[in-house]
Amino acid sequence: MGMRRAPLLALIMAAACAHPRPVLYPDEHLKTLGAPAAQKDVDECLAQAKEYLKANPAKRVARRIGGGAVFGAVMGTVFGAFTGDFGRAIGQGAAVGAAAGLAHGAYEAGSPDEIQRAYTQRCLAEKGWSVIGWK
């Protein structure tokens, strides 16, 4: 039974390592404190960012809805130019865009995004680390 779990455990571990992680600038702070301290702080900041996102999912979904509505209204304007009924096309486009934004926001509510990265980078900066990218 233990042999059957080994491939599953390896797959889970590989998936866990697949998330992007910050790359730190190799400055004096890194040289002084070392890689183990950097790894610890990166792990802590990533965990804090995930907790923040769990506690504030509505903001992320609302942002997607708003963006979808704006995009839908723009597309409705384009459609209205072809049909001659701008008001109706814009309204329908905004409604469809908002629905698409809601679906997209709900789908991405658990995935890493720019908010998680920004949160992590700020957290690391407060600890003295400089993020130069993500890998």
Do 103 and 72 meet the contact criterion of CB atoms below 8 Å apart? no
How do residues 40-84 score in pLDDT, each as one tens digit? Answer: 999 999 999 999 988 887 665 566 666 666 666 666 666 666 777
The predicted pLDDT at position 14 comes to 46
1-29 mean pLDDT: 65
Stated pTM of the model? 0.52
The predicted pLDDT at position 90 comes to 72
- pLDDT mean across residues, the chain: 75
Helical pair 86-108 and 57-83, crossing angle rounded to 10 deg: 150
At 19, the pLDDT band (50, 70, 90 cuts) reads confident
Closest Cα to residue 115, out of 41, 73, 76, 59?
Answer: 59
